Structure 1
Amino acid sequence: AAAAGAAGAGAARAAGAAAGADAADDAALVAHYADKEFEYGFASTCKMVLPASELKGKKILDVCCRRGKGVFKLSSMAGNGGGVIGVDWSAAHLAEARDRMERAWRDSGLARNNMEFRAAYPEDLIAAGIGTSTMDVVYVNSVNTLFFDTARALREFGRVLKPGGLLVFETVLADRERDDDVVAAARELGNCIQAARTRQENEAWLAAAGFGEATVVESYAVEASRGFKPGSTVDVVPGDEDVRYEAVSLYVSKL
């Protein structure tokens, strides 16, 4: 009985420690995104190289949708038989997107509104009511290198996608392993290019999240200082001037 009691107490302590760790992680998640909108850097760029013919009638999730421009484009492609959910952590961005929503679906010639906007962090889509295996397509742009936890976010994308569902993944890849201090400083600056990790690291995260092999549908070299449009620049962190960066658009299917 004493042994059973000790075991029970140990389990309770372990459960309490796990709950405390989860609470601390959640607090860190909220703190990471507080007051962050990642405006005017390359993270604001959405190439949206999309398989238009495959989106009709689909249920699509746009992660970090900002003011809704990408959702409006996806909405038109999904058509009357499909639907789009845009998620973002910025209340101001979501309010602006909702204000523009009705005009957007009418301008697209749709019979009804097929989109909605919800508040969520990329790592915690369930908080916005995005259920498991409910989405046909997830789209995310190059802001992903600035996520609180890219690997965790990719697991969430895998969770919400149906088997065989498509992740349209815009990101930046570095040509070599990175100095962690430089990456951390770049993330604080909001420089999503200089915060990039290698192709191998991204492929490992995708595999762990239940995705198959990625297909590169577009790629081009980018400088660490590139801003949200050609000719604009952002601050960079010294220390890895020899690193080369490649912006890529990937299609990756959930296994």
Structure 2
Amino acid sequence: MAVVWSSLSVWENCWILDLSSGSGRDCYALNQLVGEKGHVTGIDMTEGQVGAAKKYLDYHMEKYDFQTSSVTFTHGYIEKLAEAGIQNGSYDIVISTCVINLVPDKEQVLQEVYLVLKQGGELHFSDVYASLELPEEIKTHKVFWGECLGGALYWKDLFILAQTIGFFPPCLVTANLITIQNKELERIIGDCCFCFGHISPLQTP
């Protein structure tokens, strides 16, 4: 999470959407940053996680000395934000941390994010990337999929896709190599390398 937030300066009063918010921990931390006049929405596909996150609304409102809660949690899919009630043009920032690689239709996710961002809004995006286009053997391999590698985007494809949708050209800011310590898995991936990377915020015009 420090990777995603490393470019934070002043997010006070911003509206932020957290993709696959899970237990809500990051949403509550972001809530303190944006303040009572800002807003944080967490969306997750698991109803149990949404329910668990909501249990701490009152606790954090009191902890931050807010008169009203400025966090909401919504059940839904990140590739179907409109169906979950997320309004177009309503968010300053969208955050995604190692989530989009798990979604088969990555273009649809980025398109949905583009629509819900305000003019000049940003997607702060950290994920697993591949140095080559992945063959089906890797994409469908149970171990690679379970380790968030099977759905890794070829970084060049991501950059082309982002610009096709309408985002300004991104660039890779940080990259940490992911090591494979298994001879059989090394044989399967061949010359492909994986890294966990953070790209510059994808910004709308």
Secondary structure of 2:127 counterpart = strand
Q: Distance in 1 between matches of 2:172 and 2:65?
A: 32
Give aligned pairs, total: 202
Q: Distance in 1 between matches of 2:25 and 2:156?
A: 31
Alignment of 1:200-219 (within 5 A): 200-219=156-175
Q: Distance in 2 between matches of 1:78 and 1:186?
A: 39
Specify the alignment match of 1:61 in structure 2: 17
Alignment of 1:61-80 (within 5 A): 61-80=17-36
Secondary structure of 1:219 counterpart = strand
Secondary structure of 2:21 counterpart = coil
Specify the alignment match of 1:246 in structure 2: 195
How far 1:216 sits from its partner (Å)? 3.4
Specify the alignment match of 1:223 in structure 2: 179
| 1:145–1:192 Cα contact (<8 Å) kept | yes
Q: TM-score normalised to the size of structure 1?
A: 0.72
Q: Distance in 1 between matches of 2:39 and 2:204?
A: 20
Specify the alignment match of 2:133 in structure 1: 177
One-letter amino acid of the structure 1 residue matched with residue 167 of structure 2? F
Structure 2 unaligned segments of length 5 or more: list them.
none
Specify the alignment match of 1:165 in structure 2: 121
| 1:49–1:249 Cα contact (<8 Å) kept | no
How far 1:49 sits from its partner (Å)? 2.3
Q: Which has the higher helix share?
A: 1
| 1:46–1:142 Cα contact (<8 Å) kept | no
| 2:103–2:151 Cα contact (<8 Å) kept | no
Q: Distance in 2 between matches of 1:105 and 1:140?
A: 24
| 2:98–2:127 Cα contact (<8 Å) kept | yes
Specify the alignment match of 2:5 in structure 1: 49
Q: Distance in 2 between matches of 1:61 and 1:187?
A: 30
| 2:141–2:150 Cα contact (<8 Å) kept | no
Q: Distance in 1 between matches of 2:3 and 2:61?
A: 21
Alignment of 1:33-48 (within 5 A): 47-48=3-4
The yes-or-no answer on 1:152 pairing with 2:108 is yes
How far 1:177 sits from its partner (Å)? 2.0
| 2:144–2:150 Cα contact (<8 Å) kept | no
Specify the alignment match of 1:139 in structure 2: 95
How far 1:160 sits from its partner (Å)? 0.4
How far 1:187 sits from its partner (Å)? 8.3
| 2:145–2:151 Cα contact (<8 Å) kept | no
Q: TM-score normalised to the size of structure 2?
A: 0.88
Identity among equivalent pairs (%): 21
Specify the alignment match of 2:64 in structure 1: 108
CA-atom RMSD, angstroms? 2.3
How far 1:238 sits from its partner (Å)? 6.2
How far 1:186 sits from its partner (Å)? 4.7
Larger Rg: 1
Distance 1:58 1:224, change over 3 A: farther
Q: Distance in 1 between matches of 2:180 and 2:106?
A: 19
